[in-house]
Amino acid sequence: MNLKRSNPLALGGETYAKGDANILDQVKITDAKSRFGLINLNTDEHFVLEPLFYKIPFYKNLYDSTGLSPASILDVKRDQIDDTQRPGYLLSEKDSSHDADECLACLIKKRASVLPFENRSDLLMDYSDPETITALENAGKIDSTQKTALQTISNKICKKLLEPTATGVTLTTDAEEEQLVGKIMNLVAAEPYETVYIIAVGQSIRDIGSSDNKGITIFKNWAGSGKADKTYRKSDAIKRENDAHKAYRRAGYIRPFTLKEIEDGDSSPKVLNGAPNQLEDKITDVKKGQYDLGADKICAESKIVMTLCFDPWTKKWKIKRFEYVE
């Protein structure tokens, strides 16, 4: 089996040279039934891709380094030999030069901008094969001007993945070359979209104030008692079920107890951060045509949860669905 190349024209299983890395799309390299939050190869963010290639352990002289017989990495249990004690142990590095033609994260971003990844095994797609390029062109996925760029970028990605260090390390066996790919494949996905969720709050507000530039002063009692009452001067005077407690609760500055607090017998008032020291408010310079916090009245409110997707083909955000939640 050749895990160093994927074959876009078949699912593998052809000649050795054409590659079988497509199997990496189907193999699950973990015990978990499902995975969430994989890194999308079509992401626009460099910092998202970068950690994939940083500090990933791999081994040169794979078969010799274990010191065990049969000498395969699969036979080595962590408690037998510490990784760092083993000869040939290395950690992959970030590209410190951040050279756009050498840095894997940059290369992957560039690749996705020419041709978005459809499968994670596309990382290993062999573009030196003219058949592959022709097939992509015939399918209308690339045009003739993009061929060379795609070939150059993709071949570089393959090389960088299969030879993670350039610092005088020669990886000789297939297993040595394929190990980094095997470790990162399980962490990535090729999703057509970037998806974000937005919670939008829409409010209708009654605009209060003077129509001219002078502005007026509004007095407000957040406790809603209607009295010019000075009782509730300090939030530290709030005690369970005293008047201040009732007033602050009515004004929405005290939250209900959690189940744990009730079970623990914690009865101290839960005054929210930002609660003012008094509930009487004097709001000055209130005008029409501007939002005056506390003076302008919120009459209605609705919350909408939206799913937005970025379509890498059209480079536009689309609202996939939205839902009124309150």
Identity of the residue, 98 or 320, whose beta carbon is nearer to Zn ion in the bound complex: 98
- The size of the chain, in residues, is 326
Q: Number of residues in contact with Zn ion, rule: CB under 5 A?
A: 4
Q: Does 49 bind Zn ion (CB under 5 A)?
A: no
Q: Which residue has the closest beta carbon to Zn ion?
A: 103
Question: Of 53 and 253, which CB lies nearer to Zn ion in the complex structure?
Answer: 53
Q: How far is the CB of 119 from Zn ion (least distance, A)?
A: 23
- 106 vs 150, beta carbon nearer Zn ion: 106
The residue assigned the tokens 């030879």 is 163
Nearest CB to Zn ion, comparing residues 6 and 42: 42
The CA distance from 87 to 80, in Å, is 14
Residues 105-144 that bind Zn ion (CB under 5 A): 105-106
Site string for Zn ion, 89-108 (x = CB under 5 A): ---------x----x-xx--
> Using a CB cutoff of 8 Å and minimum separation of 24, what contacts does 20-27 make?
21/121, 21/124, 21/181, 22/119, 22/121, 23/121, 24/120, 24/121, 24/124, 24/181, 24/182, 24/185, 25/119, 25/120, 25/121
In contact, 133 and 150? CB cutoff 8 Å = yes
Q: Map the footprint of Zn ion across residues 242-271, applying CB under 5 A.
A: none
Tell me how far, at minimum, the Cβ of 179 lies from Zn ion, in Å: 22
Let me know: does 120 contact 188? Beta carbons within 8 Å.
yes
Is residue 70 reached through a cis peptide bond, with omega within 30 degrees of 0 on the bond before it? yes
d(CA 63, CA 54) in angstroms, rounded, equals 23
Minimum gap (Å) between residue 117 Cβ and Zn ion: 17
Minimum separation from the CB atom of position 221 to Zn ion (A)? 58
- 117 vs 232 by CB, closer to Zn ion: 117
Residues that bind Zn ion (CB under 5 A): 98, 103, 105-106
